[in-house]
Amino acid sequence: MTELLNPLRSLNKGHWFKLICGASFQHLPAVRSLAIAYTLAGADCIDVAADPAVVAVAYQGLQIAAQIGVEAQRRGFAYSGNLPFLMVSLNDGEDPHFRKAEFDPEQCPPDCHRPCEKVCPAQAIEFAGITNNFSGVIPDKCYGCGRCLPICPYGRIYTSNYVITPGAIAPLILSSGVDAIEIHTQVGRLSEFQRLWQAILPWVGNLKLVAISCPDGAGMIAYLRALYEVISEAIAAHNIALVWQTDGRSMSGDIGDGTTLAAVKLGQKVLTANLPGYVQLAGGTNSYTVAKLRSLGLLAHDKCQPPHISGVAYGSYARVLLSPVLDKLETREVSHTSVKTTVRLEDEPELLWQAVELAHSLVSQLKSQQGVD
């Protein structure tokens, strides 16, 4: 048997850690810094938006991490010397992960106390002040979580959705460093999924892994089986790993411990169906997830009988965890010079190792209990 690449070995052994930068998150300095910090902390996969600029900075982040890797190992972090897979997220139809909030600040009543600004976990909503003259949603920072929508007392916020076009797929898959794709779908969209898969098919041999992300819904297991029928021949022909991403409660992991319950429940449901491929949680995952999986005996090292949960993907929780450091980096951008220049994480050693330490606090929950190899 050919030796498995490190990230695939993590899947096999049940300690696969994926960082979700966000299917709509396009803030390039943040994506770059997140990719560096989580790679050095031992992540197996970095999942980014289907945007060539985002893919390029994430790849750059991986290269930088590789250069610093020996120092990370010396400091006891889990970086293995193998780069994580770089994954691009695609969609086959309307999906909350692929949308941006918008509003016209001119239409906001002057006496509104701006709850939208406070609720946004990505600091994507700003109002003009002493240091900036922009008001509204910063598109690159908005990742579509939707929390600002119901909180606006005047109903001024709306969203714009977008779907990946077939013509955009080849350049993305062929981009430097891309090893994996994730297809976001929903129960009942078989023909849309088939159309998207036809566009992917000519390039599928370039991939090491395909993930399918689906939220719960009536008839979900039958739907996943139908998807498997669509992709099985190609993934078998090219020896591509398959991951079922169980999207419990989308983009909510930073809200509180309880959000993980939906992800775990959906993970159990898909696991019980015994589909070919690995099962990995997402949607509401946070620092409580591994503890919950352990208490239910669902991790491989709990000596549970297979099948077991093969890994966990963390999105909003993982990003918010690093925000104290990334915010400081942004502040330095402003204070270094009156002309705004980008301060790179690797040029600020104190912040760099703080970021890696924070990332490690999450990655190690999965990794440390089995030892990393």
The CB-of-237 to ligand SF4 minimum distance in angstroms stands at 39
The CB-of-280 to ligand SF4 minimum distance in angstroms stands at 24
The CB-of-209 to ligand SF4 minimum distance in angstroms stands at 27
21 binds ligand SF4 (CB under 6 A): no
Query: Cis before residue 215, ω within 30 degrees of 0?
Result: no
The CB-of-22 to ligand SF4 minimum distance in angstroms stands at 9
212 binds ligand SF4 (CB under 6 A): no
102, 160 contact by CB (below 8 A): yes
Residues 43-82, mask of contacts with ligand SF4 (x by CB under 6 A): ----------------------------------------
255, 237 contact by CB (below 8 A): no
20 binds ligand SF4 (CB under 6 A): no
Site size toward ligand SF4 (CB under 6 A) is: 24
The CB-of-223 to ligand SF4 minimum distance in angstroms stands at 27
23 binds ligand SF4 (CB under 6 A): no
Which one of the spans 45-53, 122-130, 293-301, 338-346 is the region binding ligand SF4 (CB under 6 A)? Answer: 122-130
Residue number, 13 or 99, with CB nearest to ligand SF4: 99
The CB-of-137 to ligand SF4 minimum distance in angstroms stands at 5
Distance CA 106, CA 240 (A): 50
Residue number, 112 or 273, with CB nearest to ligand SF4: 112
36 binds ligand SF4 (CB under 6 A): no
Site for ligand SF4 in 99-118 (CB under 6 A): 101, 103, 108, 112, 114-116
Task: Give the DSSP per-residue string, 271-311.
Answer: HHTT-SSEEEEESS--TTHHHHHHHTT-BGGGTPPSP-B-E
Residues 132-151, mask of contacts with ligand SF4 (x by CB under 6 A): -----x----xxxxxxx---
Helical residues (DSSP H) of the chain, grouped into ranges: 6-13, 28-40, 52-74, 115-119, 148-151, 169-173, 190-200, 220-237, 260-272, 289-295, 316-336, 349-367
Distance CA 259, CA 122 (A): 18
122 binds ligand SF4 (CB under 6 A): yes
| Distance (Å) of CA 174 to CA 35, 130, 168, 259, 371 | 19, 44, 11, 36, 34
156 binds ligand SF4 (CB under 6 A): yes
Lookup result for tokens 């220049």: 341
Residue 22: left (phi > 0), alpha (psi -120 to 50), or beta? Answer: left
Site for ligand SF4 in 269-308 (CB under 6 A): none
SS3 233: helix
SS3 48: strand
Burial environment of residue 149 by CB neighbours within 10 A (0 to 12, 13 to 18, 19 or more) = middle
Angle at 243 between CA 38 and CA 181, to 5 degrees: 65
3-state SS track over 176-188: CCEEEEEEECCCC
Residue number, 71 or 117, with CB nearest to ligand SF4: 117
102, 157 contact by CB (below 8 A): yes
Which one of the spans 121-129, 173-181, 271-279, 347-355 is the region binding ligand SF4 (CB under 6 A)? Answer: 121-129
Query: Which of 150, 154, 166, 171: binder of ligand SF4 (CB under 6 A)?
Result: 154
162 binds ligand SF4 (CB under 6 A): no
The CB-of-328 to ligand SF4 minimum distance in angstroms stands at 21
Residues at the contact surface with ligand SF4, assessed by CB under 6 A: 101, 103, 108, 112, 114-116, 119-120, 122, 124-125, 137, 142-148, 152, 154, 156-157
